[in-house]
Amino acid sequence: MADISDVKVNEFMAKVIAKNQGETEFHQAVKEVVESLMPFLEEHPEYQFSKILERMTEPERVIMFRIPWTDDSGDIQINRGFRIEMNSAIGPYKGGLRFHPTVNLGILKFLAFEQVFKNSLTTLPMGGGKGGSDFDPKGKSDNEVMRFCQSFMTELQRHIGPNTDVPAGDIGVGGREIGYMFGQYKRIRNEFTGILTGKGLEWGGSLIRPEATGYGAVYFADEMLKTRNDSMKGKTVVISGSGNVAQYAVQKVLQLGGKVVTLSDSNGYIYDPDGITEEKLDFVLELKNIRRGRISEYAEKYNVQYVEGKRPWEVKCDCALPCATQNEIDVDDARTLVKNGCYLVSEGANMPSTPEAVDIYLESKILYGPGKAANAGGVAVSGLEMSQNSMRLSWTREEVDARLKTIMSDIHETCVKYGKDESGYTNYVNGANIGGFLKVANAMMAHGYV
Ligand code: NDP
Ligand code: 2IT
């Protein structure tokens, strides 16, 4: 007979699916959380009585809008913009903006939902949100990106504010886009204030914010390794993606004495068996952030293998850091990783492993840090950027890095507290979901039925 929790999970999910039809990534993210929480809620009926989970799966507000702009040939283009204001129980809505042609309501709702738990885990006062557009920055000129960003902010500005909602970057949104959006906000509102994070250092940004997600994912990996008296030193690491998160994950692995042998983009992956050095990483930074080229150029430049149309999970490694996008590791990839001896997965990306892949990690008892814990370093330093903006001062690199390290270690501790099972194995999925839930749920209880 099915466990009472299983029955309740199925009942709950049937309602979520009926109400949010076709939003498969949102269903996936909610199901994982509900599976972790249901046994816990069985012992804490007060949260069930107050319908906390039902409320948490319904965004406080969804904003959807038209973004008209003109391309370089003078043609009018129309994109769709979104901001999901998911939960403000413990602070202003906070979370990134994604510009990618695949962006839709369901993807942004999954990201906003995950963000609520992630932000709670950081220990900082931030609620959860996410936004973006189906705009594709690839192949666009700087001027086109600027006009798009200005049009996007012309609408978004009326919904955000330093104490209301503070967006940041995500896929397709980096320093360039944050700059154009900040400029447009300032121009419309005649106000210089911390309405975005990931800003440039000259205009209110924080040191270490560009590095924070990648560094944080490696700090989290290191914390997991410590529980087995192990460290990054000498480890062979496979990384996917070659954007913001991947780049700084490479740098931190190098600093801790590991070797990174792969990077990828949506066209394929490179395999460098000698390892990516600081010098080669400088080439990647210039290639991806300035020239905006493809990772295949790395293979040409350094005469290494380029595997077209595939992801790097077939490469033998000790540790895997998925840093590209959702559902980039499926069940076969997970099996291949484990079979080849991989015993640590730390997720720089959001929900990069399918539920079946996660089952393989947990059955194999490998060290598995889910995105909402392992990649929380980015939003954590965004929270520190907000603090510095409020105080109108800026902290040193060392100060921010030390705070980031402490926060990642605290998140790890929270996961162990709520995720360790009778056998001594830490299920970081349960740990992150229960640990992230409690602060938000208690705040919601205190606020009454809002
Ligand atoms: P970037 O835009 O800087 O880089 C994204 C990278 O992932 C690129 O290499 C891109 O390749 C690849 N990628 C994107 N979409 C796909 C796809 N559908 N299939 C294959 N490859 C893809 O983004 P970030 O590095 O900022 O973000 C990467 C991940 O990390 C995302 O999941 C994001 O949500 C998550 N994250 C980001 C944080 C941040 O602070 N930036 C914080 C926490 C999580 P290509 O160039 O070919 O598109
Ligand atoms: O997914 C994420 O945590 C981010 N894209 C960063 C959010 C932020 O507000 O810094």
Tens of each residue's pLDDT in the chain, 450 residues: 468 889 999 999 999 999 999 999 999 999 999 999 999 999 999 999 999 999 999 999 999 999 999 999 999 999 999 999 999 999 999 999 999 999 999 999 999 999 999 999 999 999 999 999 999 999 999 999 999 999 999 999 999 999 999 999 999 999 999 999 999 999 999 999 999 999 999 999 999 999 999 999 999 999 999 999 999 999 999 999 999 999 999 999 999 999 999 999 999 999 999 999 999 999 999 999 999 999 999 999 999 999 999 999 999 999 999 999 999 999 999 999 999 999 999 999 999 999 999 999 999 999 999 999 999 999 999 999 999 999 999 999 999 999 999 999 999 999 999 999 999 999 999 999 999 999 999 999 999 988
The helix-helix angle for 244-255 and 278-285 (nearest 10°) equals 170
- Residue 341: which of 321, 360, 317, 371 has the closest Cα? 317
Decide which of 374, 392, 413 is a domain's last residue: 374
Tokens of 363: 């059955």
CA 280 to ligand 1 center in whole angstroms: 20
Residue pair 164/92 in contact (Cβ under 8 Å)? The answer is: yes
Beta bridge partners of 166: 94
- Residue 373: which of 441, 436, 319 has the closest Cα? 436
- Nearest ligand for residue 322 CA: 1
Q: What is the pTM of this model?
A: 0.98
Question: Is there a single domain that holds both residue 303 and residue 316?
Answer: yes
- Nearest ligand for residue 176 CA: 1
The pick from 325, 329, 350, 354 for probing ligand 1's pocket by mutation, whose C-beta has the most ligand atoms within 8 angstroms, reads 325
Residue 395 included in any domain: no
- Residue 319: which of 379, 256, 373 has the closest Cα? 256
Distance CA 261, CA 344 (A): 15
Question: Is there a single domain that holds both residue 75 and residue 43?
Answer: no
CA 377 to ligand 2 center in whole angstroms: 9
* CATH for 146: 3.40.50.10860
Distance CA 294, CA 355 (A): 30
Residue 423 included in any domain: no
Residue 367 included in any domain: yes
Question: Is there a single domain that holds both residue 99 and residue 48?
Answer: no
Q: Which ligand 2 atom is the nearest neighbour of the CA of 381?
A: 10
Residue 438 included in any domain: yes
Residue 204 included in any domain: no
CA 348 to ligand 1 center in whole angstroms: 9
The pick from 86, 114, 130, 170 for probing ligand 2's pocket by mutation, whose C-beta has the most ligand atoms within 8 angstroms, reads 170
* CATH for 42: 1.10.285.10
The helix-helix angle for 376-391 and 397-419 (nearest 10°) equals 130
Question: Is there a single domain that holds both residue 168 and residue 102?
Answer: yes
Assign residue 95 a region (left: φ > 0; alpha: ψ between -120 and 50; beta: otherwise): left
Question: Is there a single domain that holds both residue 106 and residue 80?
Answer: yes
Segments forming the whole domain that contains residue 29: 1-58+430-450
Which residues belong to the active site?
130
Question: Is there a single domain that holds both residue 332 and residue 246?
Answer: yes
Q: Which ligand 2 atom is the nearest neighbour of the CA of 170?
A: 5
Question: Is there a single domain that holds both residue 80 and residue 175?
Answer: yes
Cα–Cα distances (Å) from 328 to 215, 310, 320, in that order, read 21, 10, 12
Question: Is there a single domain that holds both residue 39 and residue 67?
Answer: no
* CATH for 217: 3.40.50.720
Question: Is there a single domain that holds both residue 170 and residue 107?
Answer: yes
Residue 22 included in any domain: yes
Question: Is there a single domain that holds both residue 225 and residue 337?
Answer: yes
Decide which of 329, 344, 374 is a domain's last residue: 374
Look at the chain and report how many structural domains it folds into: 3
Residue 202 included in any domain: no
Which residues contact ligand 2 via a Cβ below 6 A? 94-96, 115, 118, 168, 170, 197, 350, 378-379, 382
Question: Is there a single domain that holds both residue 127 and residue 43?
Answer: no
Residue 319 included in any domain: yes
Decide which of 352, 374, 396 is a domain's last residue: 374
The pick from 209, 351, 379 for probing ligand 2's pocket by mutation, whose C-beta has the most ligand atoms within 8 angstroms, reads 379
| Residue identifier of the C-alpha nearest atom 7 of ligand 1 | 324
Cα–Cα distances (Å) from 52 to 57, 255, 359, 432, in that order, read 9, 43, 27, 17
Beta bridge partners of 259: 236
Question: Is there a single domain that holds both residue 73 and residue 52?
Answer: no
Cα–Cα distances (Å) from 379 to 119, 127, 252, 301, 322, in that order, read 7, 11, 18, 34, 18
